[in-house]
Amino acid sequence: MVSRMNLDRSLNAIIDSDLLDRISRVKAYRRGRSDKRLNLFMPSHLFPTISITGPMCALSCKHCEGRLLEGLVPAGDSDALLRIALKLGESGAFGMLVTGGCDGQGRVGIERFLGAIREIKDETDLLVIAHTGFVTPRVAEMLAESGLDGVGVDLFPHVCVGLDFGRLSGEYQALRMIHEVSVSIPRVVITALMPLSGTLMAGKKPDPADVLRVVCDAVELFSDRSVLLGCAHSVGRDRGLIEIFALDCGVTNIAVPTMRLLKYAQTHGYDVNYYGTCCGLGAREETRIADEINFMNYEEYSKTTYRL
């Protein structure tokens, strides 16, 4: 059981009094606006991630160097993507995330797959979302016409805390950029750098206090929108602390949670709901997996989640 006293001791060890006061203010503000419903997203074989570039990425950013692509399902052309989708449809999957490495201009090159995506949407019931990298207005129009269920727009990938070797750099500016066009953006996803072995940022991760600062920024800026904690949000003990205090601040949509969060939610009266898709799709009744997972089998289920 995660007690409030033990949690407060953990928090006092990692953040200062000013941030504690800010979290308290955000909690008080959100208390009257949030119910006790917690949505947890755990994509796996039900919602795999497909790389349309295989393991290749021209950018080779220092936090990834292409390693995040290595564990994804490769689909090098439209025919391959269509074949994968048809198999997923037959197997009872909910859908898929289409992503890939970038070219030198930060573009994933999704436009050459949009015909296949249109066919997938016409022939199956799969939900399809895409990470596109930078797009031109022409490609944006093509995306809108393709039938995609969602497009993940990356600013410091999603809004990724600590992408500068674990340090805060442009996260607040990224949130402000989103806020300027937020009429058309229903959800804002906060993530945090997860160090990958073999990269230049191996061993680096953000201060959990910095993650909570960005969470507070997001909740305050987007008081009428959903703020989500994405699947990549630090590692180790910090991950559970970030989840619990993000929940206290009103972030009630969290991907790939720790057992620590699950126990905290259970003991504090939350109505926990599970969904087998990427959190970017939001909570949809048709993707609920509440009957397939509970606290007893969560650890076994979580082994099937895709690696991020």
| pLDDT at residue 155, rounded to an integer | 64
Q: What is the pLDDT of residues 195-229, one digit of tens each?
A: 899 999 998 989 999 999 999 999 999 988 889 99
Taking Cα atoms as reference points, which of 121, 272, 171, 61 lies closest to residue 113?
121
Residue at 228 is within a domain: yes
HSE-CB of 307 using CA atoms within 13 angstroms: 11
The residue segments making up the domain with residue 217 are: 4-302
Taking Cα atoms as reference points, which of 18, 3, 35, 9 lies closest to residue 270?
35
Residue at 62 is within a domain: yes
Residue 6 pLDDT level (bands cut at 50, 70, 90): low
Burial of 216 (0-12, 13-18, 19+ CB in 10 A): buried
Q: How many other CB atoms are found less than 10 A from the CB of residue 164? A: 18
Q: What is the pLDDT of residues 165-194, one digit of tens each?
A: 999 999 999 999 888 876 677 889 999 999
Residue at 106 is within a domain: yes
Taking Cα atoms as reference points, which of 177, 106, 96 lies closest to residue 135?
106
Name the DSSP letter for residue 183: G
CA distance 218 to 156: 14
Q: How many other CB atoms are found less than 10 A from the CB of residue 298? A: 16
Residue at 307 is within a domain: no
Residue at 308 is within a domain: no
Mean pLDDT of the chain: 86
- Total domain count for the chain? 1
pTM summary value: 0.87
* Average pLDDT for 157-172: 90
User: What is the CATH number for 241?
Assistant: 3.20.20
Q: How many other CB atoms are found less than 10 A from the CB of residue 8? A: 11
Name the DSSP letter for residue 153: -
Q: What is the pLDDT of residues 293-303, one digit of tens each?
A: 554 455 554 45
Residue at 192 is within a domain: yes
| pLDDT at residue 260, rounded to an integer | 92
Q: Please, what's the b/e burial string for 243-257 (b: 16 or more CB within 10 A of its CB; e: otherwise)?
A: bbbbbbbbbbbbbbb
Residue at 159 is within a domain: yes
Q: Tell me if residue 13 falls in helix, strand or coil.
A: coil
